[in-house]
Amino acid sequence: MRTAADFSTRAARAAYIGRRLAELYPETPIPLEHRDPYTLLVAVVLSAQCTDKRVNEVAPRLFALADSPEGMTRLPLARIQETIRPCGLSPQKARAILGLSRILVERHHGSVPQSFEELEALPGVGHKTASVVMAQAFGEPAFPVDTHIHRLAQRWRLTSGRNVEQTERDLKQLFPRNQWNIMHLRIIYYGREHCTARGCDGTVCEICRTLFSARRPVSTRK
């Protein structure tokens, strides 16, 4: 029987988490439906502050109008904005999608660049979005960290970082480079199913209970 001492270090906790998530999620399909690097890039832009489920409902409507940078540049901004409205933040996202499409046509021959620097230079594309595209479209090692992964990494005491940048650095040190892409997805799947913000306070799900058997629930005042 494991004891708290067995998980006293970050490395020990990471090793257990890696093994258990591999057992739970041997297959990790990419959550955002897409056809190619461009449609993935647009889908990730749409996913900001929006669920993957909603993006997968809305993105096909947009791609029915245009599924390439060249086609997207021919759409009026208002048409893009109206189509993606259910994803939220539609004015900003529409401008980003139209802007990045124009840049891809003008500077990259209509193709999505395969470098962090060039991706992050595109409108609406930050480091996390670039990391997702590099990992899921091009198979390059990356460890995209969103707020949910950041929260789980803190909850599992894999990081003491106060921001996603530090958490990304810590996770990259804890897990082998050739596992970064799949670990990112496994943590996402586990978090959604078992260690949600409301469903687990660090004492409820299997991983939390195993790693921190002595941890007590956070008390609440009524």
Write out the two tokens for 152. Answer: 């789980």
Residue 216 falls inside a structural domain: no
Residues 99 and 17 in one domain: no
Which CATH number do you get for residue 80? 1.10.340.30
Residue 88 falls inside a structural domain: yes
CB-side neighbour CA atoms (13 Å) of 10: 14
Residues 94 and 50 in one domain: yes
Residues 21 and 82 in one domain: no
Q: Please give the positions annotated as active site.
A: 128, 146
| Rg of the chain on CA atoms, in Å | 19
The model's pLDDT over 63-100, given as tens digits with 9 standing for 90+, comes to 999 999 999 999 999 999 999 999 999 999 999 999 99
Write out the two tokens for 109. Answer: 């021959």
Q: Please check whether residue 118 is in contact with residue 125, taking contact to mean a CB–CB distance below 8 angstroms.
A: no
Residues 130 and 53 in one domain: yes
By residue range, what is the domain housing residue 77? 37-136
Q: Give residues with Cβ within 8 angstroms of 64, minimum separation 6.
A: none
The model's pLDDT over 109-135, given as tens digits with 9 standing for 90+, comes to 999 999 999 999 999 999 999 999 999
Residues 149 and 116 in one domain: no
Q: pLDDT-derived band of residue 51, with 50, 70 and 90 as boundaries?
A: very high
Q: Give residues with Cβ within 8 angstroms of 157, minimum separation 6.
A: 10, 13, 211, 212
Residue 218 falls inside a structural domain: no
Residue 220 falls inside a structural domain: no
Cα torsion at 54, 60, 62, 64 (round to 10°)?
-160
Residue-level pLDDT at 221: 39
The number of folded domains in the chain is 2
Angle, helix 77-84 to helix 52-65, in steps of 10 degrees: 150
Q: Please check whether residue 74 is in contact with residue 23, taking contact to mean a CB–CB distance below 8 angstroms.
A: no
Residue 219 falls inside a structural domain: no
The pTM of this model reads 0.90
Number of other CB atoms surrounding residue 130 within 10 Å: 23
Mean model confidence pLDDT for the chain: 94
Which CATH number do you get for residue 195? 1.10.1670.10
Residue 198 falls inside a structural domain: yes
CA–CA dist 153, 169 (Å, integer): 12
